[in-house]
Amino acid sequence: MTAWGDDPELLATFRAEVEERLGSLQAGLLALEAHGAPRQVVAGLFRDAHTVKGSARMLGLGGVLRVSHAMEDLLGALRDERLTVRSDLVDLLLSSCDVIGRALPGGELDEQALEPVLAALAAATGGQCPVAVPVLAAAAPAAPAPVSAPVSTMAQPPSPREPVRALVPAQIVVREAVASEVVRAGSDSVRVAASKVYELLDVVGEADLGARRIEQTAGQLLRLAAEQARWSQTLRQAGLRSATTLPPDVALALHRLVGAGTELSTAVGGLRELVEDHRGGMAQVRDGAMGLAMVPVRRAFAPLARIVRDVAQRTGKAVRLETAGEDVEIDKQVLDGVAEALKHLVVNAVDHGCEPAPVRLAAGKPAESVVRVTARGVAGTVVLEVADDGAGVDDDRVRSQAVRHGLLPPDSTLTGPPLQELLFTPAFSTAPQVTETSGRGVGLDVVRDAVEGLGGTVEVRSERGTGTAFVLTLPVTLGVLRCLLARVGDERYAIPVSGVVESLSLRSGSGAPAVHVLGGATVVVRHGASIPLLDLGAVLGLRRAPGDLPKAALVVRHTGGAGSQLAWSVDRLEGESELVVKDLDGFLGRVPGIAGATIAADGSVVCLLDLRELAERMLGGAPVLPGVSSQQISPPTPVPARRARVLVVEDSVGVRELQRVILEGAGYQVETAVDGLDGAARLRDEPADLVLSDVEMPGMDGFDLTRTIRRTKGWENVPVIIMTSRGEAYARQAGLEAGCSAYLLKTEFDQDQLVQTVRRLVGR
């Protein structure tokens, strides 16, 4: 069983949630004695303790689990009015909150140090009055640090309607120890809704564009000031030659004009320096804001081990997963967008690439196959690679399938990367039979669409008998893209660097590539290969002056594979720049061939081109294959794929995240909700194939949600799994009467049992 308590990301999420719950507990306890309706307050405190207990149980944190469970027992006695609220009980519960905070992973308390508090909680629940509140030793003071000015941090409290969180740095506050006060270091993180981070990125992008325009205006002022100073000096010299004939007021005005010009030049120079300093500061702010949205690729790697294990067991193979580069960071939106693609590739690697042990032994290989998933940063992009040491792509099988589907003529001898590019064709599969994991032709086309939708590329590399690797090149972030600026006619366009293979000069000379007409199509010869050459100006409908010819070309990947490339001719290239790109949908709707736009320093609008869409418009969406015209290619209709959708309803973010990771690793599409009301609302938006719900939640609990599902037309047959810490017989009976399909206990949590139960109820 996976040691989820060793996962640093889940622990960080758990720590943030527990500290929030502890704050809620302490505030409620302090107000409990004076509250007019303590029963309602205790109910809220009970839910907080229950949430901490459930999260600690699933992450295997025994000390926190025992204390929170004992607190829950005492709060339950107060809630049921078996005990009355007393000052000593409030003191004991506050002390328990402190103990939990100090017993979190990385804290200074071990399980043995918790025994006095556990004994006091048990005595209080048993009716002892008054109860002695144990006093634990104060935390060891941290080593003194150099005194520095405090860093001011401002954070808006997260909205309860925005459950998706990101961890961002915050200030650490340290207080002086007094008497018996227990000093604890403040948390080094706060939870902020991801939407707020992206709103901040938008604002920073706008400010960065404004800074560029101010810089350009300052440059213009500097040039005008220099021009004015030059002519003022000329005028002054002419005045000196005619000093005896100039009227006194004219001579004075001339002197003042020259002096004002000198002061203007000095002021504009100072403005230019100020703007340059501001641009440097803005760059730091932009990089810092982008850093808030960055997450390690470990998030997407986490479910892959389970996928490899399940597919290997199902296919009877011995496969080991190796990962590297888990700490490489990428924009959360990009990682979420490519997570499913990674899962498809890993399934393909195990199912298609890895051979059974007897076959490997006969070929002189180790019995155990290896699937490697790696990440690395390269020149402003992140490269994800999924590789196996299996049999490699069988070109003969791919070619025969391509001929059968009408993708190639019967006499085709196509091999290598151009042939392997056909693996990305919708509904294309080389599997001999349809199974649960292969044979339907759904997978690699989904991978290509997902990667290209993020502005990236996917490439396949394979060697027969050695293995296959899929290489995904992705932008680090979607907000700021590194682009090449190309001039076409009177317009400038931006082209993402991630999709560019190389740039070529078309000027006549010894180093220029040869341009020919082959079969009625213009091609450019590069590295011994003929690459189709398309005129970007002609595609965009731009006119050139008579006699003007393109002077440069960009070689780009077409349809994502290394074996299929296109070259686009442009008038000239104007360098490389990082651009803050904005979506146009809110203003102009969907503009064909345009992926977004930005404002240049001179105030002009620069459009970001979608060269893939422009190429499909020219070529009819067909792969560029030697000897095959677009009329010969007629891909079959794609087979729609639909994964089972599971709705997880859980108010604990730690437990919710853990269940999401497990179920996504098992191949399900997972939607999450923070409580019963949120779950019912999400069901109205999109029905689910199964609901996995906790019981103790604010608003609507799990039993009420189950009853609501059973009473609602269209939902009545949706399976509902209750997963809770409440193992009492009456609680089980209440769940069954509400209509749940299965009742699982967090105290007996087993991820295999959870996945098997979901599969049994969903049917796949």
Core vs surface per residue 355-367: b (16+ CB within 10 A) or e:
bebeebeeeebee
Quote the CA–CA distance of 133 and 659 in Å, as a whole number.
37
* Domains located in the chain, CATH noted: 4-140 (1.20.120.160), 195-292 (1.10.287), 296-394+430-449 (3.30.565.10), 480-632 (2.30.30.40), 645-762 (3.40.50.2300)
Average pLDDT rounded to a whole number, residues 355-371 = 91
| pLDDT confidence band for 361 (50 / 70 / 90) | very high
Q: Which helix (H) or strand (E) covers residue 444, if one does?
A: helix 444-453
| pLDDT confidence band for 271 (50 / 70 / 90) | confident
**pLDDT above 90: percentage of residues in the chain:** 7
Average pLDDT rounded to a whole number, residues 150-168 = 35
Quote the CA–CA distance of 321 and 335 in Å, as a whole number.
20
Other beta carbons within 10 angstroms of residue 171's beta carbon come to 14
Which range is least confidently modeled, 100-114, 468-482, 733-747? Answer: 100-114
pLDDT digits over 655-707, tens only?
A: 887 888 888 878 888 888 888 888 888 887 777 889 999 988 877 888 989 98
| pLDDT confidence band for 160 (50 / 70 / 90) | very low
| pLDDT confidence band for 356 (50 / 70 / 90) | very high
Quote the CA–CA distance of 165 and 10 in Å, as a whole number.
12
Q: Is the pLDDT of residue 718 over 70?
A: yes
pTM over 0.95: no
Higher-confidence position of 370 and 592: 370
CA dihedral over 320, 324, 329, 330, signed as positive or negative: negative
| pLDDT confidence band for 431 (50 / 70 / 90) | low
Q: What is the pLDDT of residue 489?
A: 80
| pLDDT confidence band for 588 (50 / 70 / 90) | low
pLDDT digits over 27-75, tens only?
A: 777 777 666 556 677 777 888 888 788 777 766 777 888 888 888 888 8
Q: What is the pLDDT of residue 150?
A: 36
Q: Which residues pair with 616 in a beta bridge?
A: none
CA dihedral over 729, 734, 737, 742, signed as positive or negative: negative
**Residue 68 vs residues 141, 376, 426, 582: alpha-carbon distances, Å:** 26, 41, 52, 48
CB-CB contact of 726 with 702 (8 Å): no
Backbone dihedral angles phi then psi of residue 295, each to the nearest 5 degrees = -135, 150
Q: What token pair was written down for 599? A: 């404002």
pLDDT digits over 521-568, tens only?
A: 777 877 767 788 888 888 887 776 666 778 888 888 765 443 467 888
Average pLDDT rounded to a whole number, residues 434-456 = 65
The maximal CA–CA distance of the chain, rounded, in angstroms, is: 115
**Residue (of 460, 204, 505) closest to 344 by Cα position:** 460
Q: Is the pLDDT of residue 388 over 50?
A: yes
